Structure 1
Amino acid sequence: MTGVARYDEIADFYADGWTDVIDDPASVRLLDLLRPVADLRVLEIACGHGRISREFARRGATVVGADISEALIAKARAVEHDTPLGIRYLHADVARPLETDLAPFDAVVCSFGLSDIDDLEGAIAATAGALRPGGVFACSILHPCFPGGRDVSGSWPGGARYHTEGWWRADGELSSLRRQVGANHRTLSTYVGTFRRHGLWLDELDEPEPAPAWAAMRPDAAKFPVFLVMKCVKQ
């Protein structure tokens, strides 16, 4: 197993913060981009503890979830054991090709995981390789143009520039996710260019606004684009 599983050490913290109630604007829009999913074969990369995978399965998809974090995959498998939905979870580095007997998929999904993946090129190559021709790749990310605010981390560190790419770790409280695991900042053009190099052509893009309650508590941050959701089609 290659790569770094930064989430192993904070698996409890992360899973406790994201329940199976799908009501955040970016996740709702991500799911809408693939509607309907009944009878589709869906792969979720960087699936974490399986929150989005379970929602796709509840909607009738046949789902495989993959993540580099053994601790998060263990949590996903425990839920599957207790409440079976037919999901297969793999402890795998998603920047490498998955088992050949699993492909092809109708859709590959990544919910807020691309910034956690150090090897974007490898992950998108593996994604394209797992999709059938005409298949869909859909992802949600923190908007690359989001500079953050007083109480929330942005897409890049304070004092840096949008065009300066690389891995970074947020300052501030240890309870912040980006303080604990860091993130990879990339420009929007880097994401789209990487997709295109691997035959994934941008078909739809949305910038859902944050929930009103979130925005009211963070007016300095809410004036910027916060989330980005994209849908690509394999040529």
Structure 2
Amino acid sequence: MSPRQAARYDAVADFYASGWTDAIDDPASLRLLSLAEPIACRRVLDLACGHGRVTRELARRRATVTGVDVSAALLAVAREAERESALGITYVHADLTAPDQPWLSTSPYDVVTCNFGLSDIDDLDAAIDATARALRPGGTFVCSILHPCFPGGHHVSGSWPEGGRYHDEGWWRADGELSSLRRQVGANHRTLSTYLNTFRRHGLRLDVLAEPEPPETWTAERRDAARHPVFLVARCVKGG
């Protein structure tokens, strides 16, 4: 487990859980859930599940769900919610990018989801390798991210640092006044081609690419930023 990665999310667990509730109404998360269907009675793995917001919605849709995250503090919130209202979810505290993953040795999953988690993971190649190994042949991987081409706007940080370039990849911490979470935990910027080529290299074929528009409540304070693509949602299918 990456100490830096665990620490930066453990430190914001309460802020994260209170800011992103179970009321899923943002277009990117809704699109991810729609592309994951059908999931009833299927085995679903939710990567970088955090406090279990999307994990619980997957379970409510009658999937058999396992959530995995590197942050013990966020998983504590998720497990408490499961104790209060059991949905049959299994939570695993693990670093997805570690070489030894005994929890992946069970039967393969039908669907793997990752909602706004890939940019939080430092080793993308290892994460997608684990994703591909977790899926059965013909299974689907659905992910949502801040659009790699999003340049930001007034008080809103883009996908790469102000004054930097789209092609310069790496981890950085946002400073935009309205980018509250990424000011605290940072993010990894990668080009669109890096994401898609990594998926392809691990046998995940792009099936659907969507760019949902942000809601009016978001754009009201960010008119200049909303002129650009903000979110990206992709569904891939495992070959074989």
**TM-score relative to the length of structure 2:** 0.95
Look up the match of 1:118: 122
Look up the match of 1:28: 30
Identity %: 68
Look up the match of 1:189: 193
Query: How far has the Cα of 1:214 moved from its partner?
Result: 1.4
Do 2:155 and 2:178's aligned partners in 1 also have CA atoms closer than 8 Å? no
Do 2:156 and 2:177's aligned partners in 1 also have CA atoms closer than 8 Å? no
Question: Bigger CA drift: 90-99 or 167-176?
Answer: 167-176
Match of 2:113 among 77, 96, 109: 109
- Count of paired positions: 235
Look up the match of 2:234: 230
Question: Bigger CA drift: 64-73 or 164-173?
Answer: 164-173
CA distance in 2, matches of 1:169, 1:209: 24
- Report the residue type matching 1:187 in the other structure: T
Do 2:97 and 2:123's aligned partners in 1 also have CA atoms closer than 8 Å? yes
Query: How far has the Cα of 1:233 moved from its partner?
Result: 0.2
Look up the match of 2:149: 145
Do 1:92 and 1:98's aligned partners in 2 also have CA atoms closer than 8 Å? no
Look up the match of 1:61: 63
CA distance in 2, matches of 1:150, 1:98: 45
- Could you list the per-position Cα deviations for residues 181-228 of structure 1 after superposition, in whole angstroms to 9, with x for gaps in the alignment? 110000000000000110001000000000022112211000000000
Q: Find the residue that maps to 1:72 and give its secondary structure.
A: helix
Query: How far has the Cα of 1:102 moved from its partner?
Result: 2.9
Unpaired stretches in structure 1, ≥5 consecutive residues:
none
Question: Bigger CA drift: 112-121 or 164-173?
Answer: 164-173
Q: Find the residue that maps to 2:12 and give its secondary structure.
A: helix
Do 1:174 and 1:180's aligned partners in 2 also have CA atoms closer than 8 Å? no
- Could you list the per-position Cα deviations for residues 59-103 of structure 1 after superposition, in whole angstroms to 9, with x for gaps in the alignment? 000000000000000100000011000000011101133514433
Q: Find the residue that maps to 1:139 and give its secondary structure.
A: strand
Q: Find the residue that maps to 1:129 and give its secondary structure.
A: helix
Query: How far has the Cα of 1:43 moved from its partner?
Result: 0.2
CA RMSD of aligned residues (A): 1.4
Q: Find the residue that maps to 2:195 and give its secondary structure.
A: helix
1:157 correspondence with 2:149: no
Alignment of 1:81-96 (within 5 A): 81-96=83-98
CA distance in 2, matches of 1:175, 1:142: 12
Question: Bigger CA drift: 62-71 or 171-180?
Answer: 171-180
Do 2:156 and 2:179's aligned partners in 1 also have CA atoms closer than 8 Å? no
Q: Find the residue that maps to 2:56 and give its secondary structure.
A: helix
Look up the match of 2:214: 210
CA distance in 2, matches of 1:50, 1:172: 26
Unpaired stretches in structure 2, ≥5 consecutive residues:
none
CA distance in 1, matches of 2:94, 2:14: 20
Q: Find the residue that maps to 1:219 and give its secondary structure.
A: coil
Match of 2:10 among 4, 8, 20: 8
Look up the match of 2:136: 132
CA distance in 1, matches of 2:44, 2:55: 8
